[in-house]
């Protein structure tokens, strides 16, 4: 069996890197994807984990607002098998999904300050 998820979105926060006890780099960041339909905006959040040398590159070159393409697999919650459910500050409910990245492609040009002009992510909307 095989699964592959491809998402394109913008980082909601700067990446955070740490190391496992054996010295493997792990970088985590959140990515927001959005679409507009029937005059409504829909944003879906993904929590992305990247490992090894690619984790070090992500930590070095990505920052809040960077546009990325992620190829990887969904990782369900170990206890429930579902995405993480949370209540937003406005009282509505949302969910975020855990992704283990195989490939991260940087879509924001280096000369660009990180904003692609497509809009910004508000810190209050980030669930984690």
Backbone angles phi and psi of 58, in degrees to 5: -60, -45
Q: Which of 11-20, 21-30, 31-40, 62-71 has the lowest mean pLDDT?
A: 31-40
User: If you average pLDDT over every residue of the chain, what do you get?
Assistant: 85
Euclidean distance between CA atoms 64 and 6, whole angstroms: 20
Look at residue 15 and tell me whether its pLDDT is greater than 90. yes
What is the predicted pLDDT for the residue at 80? 82
Mean pLDDT across the stretch 88-108?
90
> How is residue 112 annotated by DSSP?
S
- For the segment 28-42, the average pLDDT, to the nearest whole number, is 91
Select from 3.30.70.20, 3.30.70.260, 2.40.50.140, 3.30.70.1140 the CATH code of 5-121.
Answer: 2.40.50.140
What is the residue-wise DSSP string for 28-88? EEEEEEEEEETTEEEEEEEEEEEETHHHHHHHHH--TT-EEEEEEEEE--TTTSSPEEEE-
pLDDT tens-digit readout, 41-79 = 888 889 999 999 999 999 999 999 999 999 999 988 778
Run of H or E including 89: none
Report pLDDT for 115: 43
Q: How is residue 101 annotated by DSSP? A: E
Domain boundaries, the chain: 5-121
């Amino acid at each position: 069996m095989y699964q592959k998820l491809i998402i394109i979105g913008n980082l909601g926060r700067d990446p955070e890197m740490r190391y496992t006890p054996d010295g493997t780099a792990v970088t985590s960041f959140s990515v927001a994807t959005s679409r507009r339909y029937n005059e409504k905006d829909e944003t879906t959040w993904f929590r992305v984990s990247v490992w090894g040398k690619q984790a070090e590159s992500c930590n070095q070159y990505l920052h809040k607002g960077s546009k990325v393409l992620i190829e990887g697999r969904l990782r369900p919650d170990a206890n429930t098998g579902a995405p993480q459910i949370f209540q937003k500050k406005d009282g509505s409910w949302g969910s975020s999904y855990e992704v283990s990245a195989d490939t991260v492609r940087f879509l924001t040009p280096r000369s660009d300050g990180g904003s692609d002009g497509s809009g910004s992510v508000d810190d209050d909307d980030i669930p984690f």
